[in-house]
Every structure is written in structure tokens, then in C-alpha cells.
Amino acid sequence: MAANAPTAPVPEGARITVCEVGPRDGFQIEATFIPTDRKIAIVNALFASGLRHIQVTSFVSPRAVPQLADAEAVLAGIDRPEGAVVSALIPNLRGAERAAGAGVDAVHSVVSASETHNLKNVNRPIETSLKDFEAVFALLDRAGVAIEGGIATAFGCPFEGIVPPEQVARIARRYQEMGARSVGLGDTTGMATPSTVRAAVQAIRAEAPGLGIGLHFHNTRGVGLACVMTGLAEGVTHYDASVGGLGGCPFAAGATGNICTEDLVYLLNESGYETGVNLDALIDAARMTQEVIGRDLPGQVIKSGPRLRRYDPGLTATAAG
């Protein structure tokens, strides 16, 4: 993630970074294991659409998340275009060692802003997670791997309810002190609202000036893209999204899919921002993903296509009378 110094709204015409997280956040919650070759094909199709930031997998214990047990094989099989940033999520030192050995460009760590969710997600208190990351970040720094500090349940916790923005900002400052260049705020169960997004971003900017900020929304209650617009108004230029709207945390009650990559790219393009993504090619990648998953996905643009899609009048019924 690039550092987001400005606090003014992102100007029209600016480049927005869209980070595709479906191959990690989406595939991890699927009940059926997706074959490695199909994962590779989907990642390559996403790259072919123009996406250049993809969170490809997670180096977690296969016992915890068996759907991502093939992390090394997937990374070895994908075609990386020039300028691509391939990242992975890591929970601990062992995961960091595996990620560095597999040749990722960046890793995304994760600690929850709520104690209860952190215990559910990684089975340890927040403070223990942060202390453990000191050795993780030192290893990654030596390996030349960029570090993106992740904060789950940043806008609310399904177990504890309200998460104070000051708590989120304190964790962000700890990440900055350990060497993270940016922090990603995770809306783990879709509890974010425009007001909570604004409060969290402003609290981090006050507590950790110069730290880059990225936003990761779920669309559980239908306001994910409204939260993106709030982020843009706060000057944030990095957003995670998941192809087709896949996703959800397996260790959080009520979790549903992320905001949909095609829907986000459509919104950004139609709002005058640059993404570098070909929407038609992205829709094709989403359809491939839908076929592999074996069910309709929740994204909207995959169903309707771009706004100026034209239809043959001769193939459309005419009203009688």
C-alpha cells in the first residue's frame, strides 16, 4: 500500500489501487477444496484484467484453513506480469518464513482490534500477537518483503460490539513502530458505516502520521461501497475487494462476502478515477470464478454488465397495446 499522506478528498482522475483478495479471503471459506490448477487459472485471469495487486493465498496451518494448504504450489504456478505485487496473509513467524521462501512481494499480518475476536481468530491476546510480530517483522525486513499491518474487526466486533477508533489507532501506531509501511483496516463482519470509517481513518492519522491506510470492506449489510466513498472523501487510495463478492472470515459469526471487485472497479471508473483495470476482462474472470465455485456469486456487475452495454431491440419484447 502506498502511504496516504493527504487528508483532502482523492481528486477525480487520481489512480486508485484495487487489491484483489478473493483467492485468499474468498477461497478460504469455501466448503469444497478448489483444485490448485483452477486457483492458478483464476489468479492469471485476474492479472490479465489489469489488476496488479493480488493477495494470492495465506500461509496458515492447513489444519486451520485446509482450503489454502497449497499456498506454495499456487505461488509457484502463477504468471506474474511486470509491476505485479503478489501478497499473502501470514499469522505468525512460521507463516512469515514460508511466505518469504515462496517469493511473495508483500505480506499482510493480522491482529484483531477486539480481544475476543483475536482469541477466536489466532488463539492469543492482542498484546501477545503484537509482541510476536516483532520477530516476524524483523525476519521480513531482512528478506526484503514489504509489510502491511492488518487490523481485523476495525469497525466493530460480532462478539464485543463497538470497537473504539482509539484502539484501532493504537494498534496502527504499534505496527508503524515495528516497521510497517501501511495498515489495512478490516471490516470482518460488515459492521462498518461511513461514520465509523471516518472516525477510524482520522484517529490513525492523528496517532500515526505518515502511515499508509488501506480499507477492506465486506458487504454484509449492503453499505460496503458507501464506505468506499467515505474513504475516498478521507483521501484513502487503497481498497481491497474480492472477485464476484466472495469471502468471509471462518472464525467470525455472521461473516459474509467482501465488496465485489467488479462492482468496485465499476464505481471507481464511473466516478472518474483510474484503476488500470479492464472491466469486461474482469467480468470474464468473475464468470470463470463463478463456474469454478459452482454457484451464483453476489456481485451485481457480473449480472448486468457495464452501464453502457447495448442490447438488440429486435431481441427484446415490445409492449402490447
Q: Torsion angle, CA of 197/201/202/206, rounded to 10 degrees?
A: 150
Handedness of CA 284, 218, 68, 176 (dihedral sign): positive
Concatenating the DSSP letter of every residue in 101-156 gives HHT-SEEEEEEESSHHHHHHHHSS-HHHHHHHHHHHHHHHHHHT-EEEEEEETTT-
How far, in Å, CA of 286 to CA of 306, rounded? 14
β partners of residue 309: none
DSSP percent split of the chain into helix, strand, coil, nearest 5: 45, 15, 40
Helix (H, G, I), strand (E, B) or coil at 140: helix
How far, in Å, CA of 117 to CA of 85, rounded? 29
How far, in Å, CA of 39 to CA of 9, rounded? 36
Catalytic residue among 157, 227, 249, 260: 249
Handedness of CA 177, 105, 269, 259 (dihedral sign): negative
> Is 19 labeled as catalytic in the residue annotation?
no
Strand 182-186 relative to strand 212-216: parallel, antiparallel, unpaired?
parallel
Burial class (CB in 10 A: 0-12, 13-18, 19+), 8: exposed
C-alpha cell, 76:
509457484
C-alpha cell, 135:
520477530
Q: 99 to each of 85, 116, 220, 314, how far by Cα in Å?
A: 14, 27, 30, 55
How far, in Å, CA of 257 to CA of 236, rounded? 22
Catalytic residues: 249
